[in-house]
Amino acid sequence: MQKNDIFNLEITDIGVNGEGIGKVEGYTVFVKDAVIGDVIEAKLMKAKKNYGYARLVKILTPSPDRVAPVCPMARKCGGCQIQEMSYKKQLEFKEKKVRGNLARIGGVPEELLDRIMAPIVGMEESAYLGAPFYYRNKAQFPVGEDKEGNPIAGFYAGRTHSIIPNTSCALGVEVDERILNLILDFMKEYKIKPYNETAHEGIVRHVLIRYGFRTKEIMVCLVVNAEKLPHSEILVGRLAEIEGMTSITLNVNKDRTNVILGDKVKLIWGQEYITDYIGNVKYQISPLSFYQVNPVQTERLYRLAVEYAGAGEKTVWDLYCGIGTISLFLAKERCRVYGVEVVPQAVEDARNNARLNGIENVEFFAGKAEEVLPEYYEEYEKSHGGEKAHADVIVVDPPRKGCEEELLRTMVDMRPERIVYVSCDSATLARDVKYLRERGYEMVEGRAVDQFPHTVHVETVALLTKKAQ
């Protein structure tokens, strides 16, 4: 097989990034946007010895699982990877991916997985056109310029940093588009330059929008390569007319980096945060704080985490706690909770959230989980005459890279009866499960939750308990 070869291909499998996989005489071909069951015409773009990457030229026979995308940009955009696959198949794919990782990387026996894995929690019932859309409470649009020098907002074309204009994302809420267009018109009128990555010039880099589904409060945060936004009073006047507008801020990011947010937030209108509910817990959310993007599925995710943790007067550590979301759910079940989070603004939100809900049986620590917990453990031993710190339950919800070994070691030392692992990357979950299984813990329950329909991402909750000695 050579570059530019054109051939017919039947798609028989799917890769971890949602790409279709087919074989021609033993040669494996990966094709973006192709769905299992499609017969396609493909053109080889990159040829390696045993495998290659091809472009989808034409669909000859569509798969029974192929659906028309809701968004016309679905293929170009890096945001959705599997929008052309039926939602039912998406769920099957995600379930298989989680199981595959737990078996292969985690070494969890297949028979055990058969017994303990509950079916994936999908989002079918909030269906739109047979699949869930418009679920995201947060949108982050990069801002740039078109060839004529007009400001544009949109998304990065898959894996690149060129911006394709599109202000109506099928995963976001309707008001996003109105806000973006208002900002772009303002920029044009007042000649405010979008940021240019290559030249490290210009002002507006990103627009971050958050929407509280329950409270209908809106937050707009403009990420700027400056200390101030010229004529901001005009923009603020216009944005404030939008019903529900609650918080308008600037985030200062003057670094040459592709990290979206800088550390500094300046309030330019309203208050610095919006509030929202998950279940009956009220949360305040600041621009820099992490907050789950799909509120419908988040409630299910947290309920599952709480169910695995078990209610009652227990000592629980909630590591990587963000604004204290899971912590407060647990505290409401009478647990005595210690939360740990690295972003100072999120810790502040977490403390305020406890107050806001009149919850007292919770305490938050700012710092890295892999430093705070080991230090606590050591200090405890020193100040308690050699007695070791113990936790009944430890909950972790790390970012994609999973937990540091230093943290896992201390967790094992604290001998919790239960470890509840909430994960947004089942590969690192599996790696950490392997570590814990080798040190006296066994996975006894697990369930995937689809927080991110139409993308390849999936959340997983796993319960591990201490094996009998």
- Report the distance separating Cα 18 and Cα 32, nearest Å: 7
Minimum separation from the CB atom of position 324 to ligand SAH (A): 8
Q: For residues 108 and 427, which CB has a smaller minimum distance to ligand SAH in the complex?
A: 427
Among positions 117, 123, 326, 419, the unique one binding ligand SAH when judged by CB under 6 A: 326
Binder of ligand SAH out of 14, 342, 373, 411 (CB under 6 A): 342
Whether 403 sits among the annotated catalytic residues: the reply is no
In the complex with ligand SAH, the residue whose CB is nearer, 32 or 368, is: 368
- The alpha carbon of residue 269 and the mean position of all alpha carbons in its chain are separated, in whole angstroms, by 28
The 426-455 contact track toward ligand SAH, x by CB under 6 A, reads: ------------------------------
Binding-site member from 65, 176, 341, 432 for ligand SAH (CB under 6 A): 341
CB 466 within 8 A of CB 441: yes
* Binds ligand SAH by CB under 6 A, chosen from 22, 144, 212, 322: 322
Residues 126, 127, 128, 131, CA torsion sign: positive
Rounded distance, CA 275 to CA 261, Å? 20
Query: 144: which 2 tokens?
Result: 């740039």
Cα distances (angstroms) measured from residue 398 to each of 289, 424, 450: 14, 8, 17
- Please give the residues from 398 up to 417 whose contact with ligand SAH meets the rule CB under 6 A: 399
Asked if 397 is part of the footprint of ligand SAH (rule: CB under 6 A), the reply reads yes
Q: Please say which residue, 19 or 370, places its beta carbon nearer to ligand SAH.
A: 370
Contact 459, 322 (CB under 8 A): no
Site residues for ligand SAH, 361-380, by CB under 6 A, read: 368-370
Residue 401 identity:
K
Q: For the chain, percent helix, then strand, then coil, each to nearest 5?
A: 25, 35, 40
Q: Which of 321, 362, 436, 462: binder of ligand SAH (CB under 6 A)? A: 321
- Strand residues in 122-263 grouped as ranges (E): 138-145, 151-156, 163-165, 204-211, 218-224, 245-252
Q: Which of 133, 317, 320, 441 binds ligand SAH (CB under 6 A)?
A: 320
Closer residue to ligand SAH in complex, CB, 133/320: 320
Cα-based torsion angle of the residue sequence 354, 356, 358, 360 in order, rounded to the nearest 10 degrees: 20
Nearest distance, CB of residue 374 and ligand SAH, angstroms: 12
Give the residue nearest to ligand SAH (CB): 322
Instruction: Give the pair of three-digit tokens for residue 133.
Output: 């859309």
Contact 400, 394 (CB under 8 A): no
Site string for ligand SAH, 95-134 (x = CB under 6 A): ----------------------------------------
Catalytic residue selected from 80, 169, 335, 424 = 424
249 SS3 class: strand
Q: Report whether 213 contacts 276 (CB < 8 A).
A: yes
The reply on whether position 292 binds ligand SAH by CB under 6 A is yes
Nearer of residues 31 and 424 to ligand SAH, judged by Cβ: 424
Q: CA 221, CA 209: separation in Å to the nearest integer? A: 6
In the complex with ligand SAH, which residue's Cβ is closer, 270 or 416?
Answer: 416
Name which of 265, 15, 276 is nearest 137 in CA terms: 276
The gap from C-alpha 237 to its chain's centroid, in whole angstroms, comes to 32
Candidates 191-199, 261-269, 340-348, 357-365; binding stretch for ligand SAH (CB under 6 A): 340-348
CA distances from 363 to 347, 351, 379 (A): 10, 8, 17
Candidates 164, 296, 343, 444; binder of ligand SAH (CB under 6 A) is 343
The footprint of ligand SAH (CB under 6 A) covers 290-292, 320-322, 325-326, 340-343, 346, 368-370, 397, 399
Residues marked as catalytic = 424
